[in-house]
Amino acid sequence: MRASPRDSPVMDDNEYMRLALDEARKAAAADEAPIGAVLVDADGAVLAKAGNAPISSSDPTGHAEIRALRAAAEQLGNYRLPETTLYVTLEPCAMCAGAISIARVKRLVIAASDPKGGAVWHGPRYFEQPTCHWRPEVVAGSFADEAGDLLREFFRTRR
């Protein structure tokens, strides 16, 4: 029987979220919005880690979530990523929520909510729409304050 990531003897949700925060810090160091994502399989193995990179990649879809999903899908040879958990430092936007649904991510763990641009708990509430074909289990994760502070500091220094 395969263990779920939250039951993994190697790492727990907090440790995976710390990895996502590390990716967010790397993104900030590259002058990208400090948002990070980590995707793990059912055994707790990290499939992909990514930070935001739309500016450096000249790609409007270069969000951390999309980048992590793409990397894992390429590695596994399948766009469907069932039995995975995605850890994100900020509530996903509508584009990312759609990609999470299409990829069939089983579980989504979110550090900080995003009342302005989020689409899970705010805005369109993507997973609650009747046109949404797959809804992951959504969990409010740890480190909301730390993730929010990273974003506030990043944007404060640019204003």
- Is 96 annotated among the ligand-binding residues? yes
Strand partners, 124: none
Binding site annotation covers 93?
yes
Catalytic residue, candidates 32, 65, 74, 137: 65
63 is in an annotated binding site: yes
SS3 call for 100: helix
Q: Cβ contacts of residue 97 below 8 Å, gap of 6+?
A: 119, 120, 126, 127
User: Residues 103, 157: contact at Cβ < 8 Å?
Assistant: no
Q: What is the DSSP string of 2-44?
A: PPPGGG-SS--HHHHHHHHHHHHHHHHHTTS---EEEEE-TTS
Active site residue 65: yes
Question: Which residues are known catalytic residues?
Answer: 65
Binding residues for Zn(2+), by number, are 63, 93, 96
Binding residues, by number, are 63, 93, 96
